[in-house]
Each structure stands twice: as structure tokens, then as C-alpha cells.
């Protein structure tokens, strides 16, 4: 359990740092990095720690890691944090909830689940597929990464304000606007993503049946 005074000290130390108000242009594609950092913060916290962790504290930790202020993006970070928390429902149980029985001395090894939560592949719309160049299911962080590669390759960042994207015909069809906020893309993408029903691609019959796959790596 993370003690309460740890968060207070962390917030105080961060506020004392000389934090830049605007990130350098080379890092305007930091949304994928922020998603990864949020995933790490949540994954490393237990229910007790999360019960004391506010959105402001999370943003302070992101700013300390990245080195500049994210105050203007607090609404988007709130949206992304909610998405990450939804991918870890086990961490949202009440603090005083009954703890499960201790694990046996020799528990069966569990296979790492890399295709779950925020990393789970999603079905994408034909419009998004035309931008990415593939209709294969893909995770949200990978979509953001590939979109930024497309934006950079076509030089679509607004030269007057790199926080905005000037949409070409494909992105105009995707987002429905000629100019969109770089951090607003995440919410707009939700209209083009759907969860995959049934087993994930590559899931074995044994896993579907709940049987351990003894040959799994």
C-alpha cells in the first residue's frame, strides 16, 4: 500500500520543478507515450494506492516524466485515464473488499496476457483502414502511433501551432473536420473502433475452454 504522505511529497516536489509550459515540436506525438505511462502508473498501483491517487497527481507524475506542463490537456488525460482504468477492473474493487484466499504454495504458472485491456486489438472502420493501409485488428496505442507516422510523413502538423493537425482528404473523412487537436484525435477515433467479439486472434482452443496450454512458451 502506498502511504498517503508519499503522494503529498510527490506533488510538492513536482510543483517546485521548473516545468516548461509548451513541449518541443519533436514531442507533439507524445499521446502514445502518455497512454503507455498511464498504463504503467495504473498497473503498478493497487486498489489502496488508486483510492488515494487523484487525476491531478497523475498529471503531475506525467509532467515530471515528460518535463513540461500538460495543464492544457487535462481533459484529454482524464479521458485516457478512464480508458486505462476500464482495462483494469480488478484494481477498481473497494479498498476494504474481502481479500481472496492465499494462493497455494505451488500455483500453476499463468501465461502473460499481452492482448488484453488497452493493448487488445480492435476492429477498425474502412475509413480508418484507408489511412492505416490495413484492415487488420489493431490496438489503440498502435493506431495512435501509426497515425502520427502518417501525419509526419505528409507534413500535416499546423506550422503555426503544432498542437493541431491540418487534415488531408483521408483525415478529413476520418475526423470530419479540416483541423483537429492532436489530443482530440483519441476521442474522435472511438467512432471508428469496435471490440472484437469472441476469442482474440491467435487464441488456442485450450485457452477458450479454460485449459492450460502445456506447449505455450
What are 170-192's pLDDT values in tens digits?
999 999 999 998 778 878 888 89
Residue 179 lies in a domain: yes
Average pLDDT over residues 88-108: 55
Q: Output the pLDDT for position 99.
A: 52
Could you list the residue range(s) of the whole structural domain that residue 88 is in?
7-14+23-92
Residue 47 lies in a domain: yes
Cα 34 from Cα 50, distance rounded (Å) = 18
Residue tagged 515530471 (cell numbers)? 64
Flag whether pLDDT at 90 surpasses 50. yes
- In a shared domain, residues 129 and 190: yes
Number of domains into which the chain is organized: 2
Residue 32 lies in a domain: yes
Flag whether pLDDT at 84 surpasses 70. yes
Residue 112 lies in a domain: no
Residue 69 lies in a domain: yes
Residue 41 lies in a domain: yes
The pLDDT tens digits for 14-31 are 344 444 444 444 444 566
pTM of the model: 0.46
- In a shared domain, residues 86 and 125: no
- In a shared domain, residues 30 and 85: yes
Cα 42 from Cα 71, distance rounded (Å) = 20
Residue 204 lies in a domain: no
- In a shared domain, residues 139 and 72: no
Average pLDDT over residues 128-150: 91
Indicate left, alpha or beta for 155 from its phi (over 0: left) and psi (-120 to 50: alpha): left
- In a shared domain, residues 127 and 187: yes
Average pLDDT over residues 55-72: 82
Per-residue cell: 149 = 507516422
Strand boundaries in the chain, DSSP class E? 122-124, 164-166, 179-181, 193-195
- In a shared domain, residues 133 and 189: yes
Residue tagged 506542463 (cell numbers)? 69
Domain boundary residue, one of 92, 127, 143: 92
Amino acid at each position: 500500500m502506498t502511504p498517503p504522505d508519499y503522494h503529498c511529497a510527490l506533488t510538492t516536489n513536482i510543483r517546485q520543478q521548473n516545468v516548461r509550459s509548451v513541449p518541443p515540436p519533436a514531442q507533439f506525438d507524445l499521446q502514445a507515450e502518455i497512454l503507455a505511462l498511464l498504463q504503467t502508473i495504473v498497473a503498478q498501483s493497487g486498489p489502496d494506492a488508486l483510492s488515494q491517487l487523484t487525476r491531478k497527481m497523475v498529471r503531475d507524475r506525467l509532467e515530471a516524466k515528460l518535463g513540461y506542463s500538460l495543464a492544457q490537456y487535462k481533459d484529454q488525460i482524464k479521458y485516457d485515464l478512464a480508458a486505462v482504468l476500464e482495462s483494469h477492473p480488478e484494481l477498481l474493487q473497494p479498498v476494504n473488499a474481502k481479500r481472496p484466499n492465499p494462493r497455494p504454495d505451488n500455483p500453476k504458472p499463468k501465461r502473460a496476457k499481452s492482448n488484453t485491456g488497452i493493448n487488445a486489438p480492435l476492429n477498425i472502420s474502412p475509413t480508418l483502414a484507408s489511412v492505416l493501409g490495413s484492415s487488420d485488428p489493431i490496438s489503440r496505442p498502435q493506431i495512435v502511433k501509426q497515425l502520427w507516422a502518417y501525419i509526419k510523413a505528409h507534413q500535416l502538423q499546423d506550422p503555426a501551432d503544432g498542437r493541431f493537425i491540418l487534415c488531408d482528404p483521408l483525415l478529413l473523412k476520418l475526423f470530419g473536420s479540416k483541423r483537429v487537436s492532436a489530443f482530440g484525435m483519441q476521442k474522435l477515433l472511438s467512432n471508428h473502433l469496435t471490440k472484437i467479439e469472441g476469442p482474440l486472434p491467435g487464441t488456442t482452443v485450450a485457452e477458450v475452454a479454460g485449459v492450460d496450454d502445456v506447449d505455450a512458451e
